[in-house]
Amino acid sequence: MSRVHRKLRDEFTDVDFFLDDAAHSIHKLTVPGEQEPQEDLYIVEKGGKLKLLSEDSAIIGKIPKRVRTVRIFADAKEETLLEQIRNRARELEAQAA
């Protein structure tokens, strides 16, 4: 993502950009095998039995606990310029994939 950030700075020289790569967690749900419980969401089954959502849902159970989240902020007020920056950032990210 720092490559995308550098390219945007090079191409949009009149815009100030800020790279935020400090965020890492995407959710606080307890997942199987985790040492410390987080926020528990339960499903109430027939008969009143409680089951962790992450144990019952194949999707929730496979969401990685930690991912690297990177955001690029642009200090631009014109909506058309912001849209150009968004589109270019998407193009650059797609090229990197």
Give pLDDT tens digits for 27-82.
556 555 555 555 667 788 888 888 877 677 777 667 666 666 788 999 999 999 99
CA distance 14 to 19: 16
Output the pTM of the full model.
Answer: 0.57
Is there a single domain that holds both residue 56 and residue 29? yes
84 touches 11 (CB < 8 A): no
Answer yes or no: do 82 and 94 share one domain. yes
pLDDT of residue 14: 95
Query: pLDDT tens digits, residue range 3-29?
Result: 899 999 999 999 999 998 876 655 556
Residues 32 and 18 in one domain: no
The boundaries of the domain holding residue 78 are: 1-24+68-97
The verdict on 57 and 76 lying in the same domain is no
Is 65 within 8 Å of 25 (Cβ atoms)?
Answer: yes
Verify that 58 and 32 share a domain, yes or no. Answer: yes
Residues 37 and 13 in one domain: no
58 with 31, same domain: the answer is yes
**Domain count for the chain:** 2
Between 57 and 89, name the one with better pLDDT.
Answer: 89
Same domain membership, residue 80 and residue 47: no
Whether residues 56 and 74 fall in one domain? no
Query: Helix, strand or coil for residue 6?
Result: helix
The answer to whether residues 93 and 72 belong to one domain is yes
